[in-house]
Amino acid sequence: MHDIIIRNGTIVDGTGAPPFEGDVAITAGRISAVGQVEGCARREIDARGLIVTPGFVDVHTHYDGQATWDNQLAPASGG
């Protein structure tokens, strides 16, 4: 059993493949399946009509001044 399944979302997986409708399962804090996920979960979320981006890490900051001295705009997280 998964902890969470996000069902029926439009999945943009970051590989360059076209978006597709499907599910994302999360187990023990990690993505455990993407696509048509069988079975059940402790919690299910209906994402119909929403975009789901599994694995996306948002490195956005409001440290806009960095654009004036950092030509690579390196993430503030140090990565």
Confidence (pTM): 0.73
Residue 76: pLDDT band with limits 50, 70, 90: low
15 to 12, 28, 55, 71: CA distances (angstroms): 8, 24, 11, 26
Q: What are the extents of the domains in the chain? A: 2-53
Report CA Rg, the chain.
16
**What would the pLDDT profile of 18-56 be if each residue is shown by its tens digit?**
999 999 999 999 999 999 999 999 999 999 999 999 988
Q: Tell me the CATH architecture of domain 2-53.
A: Roll (2.30)
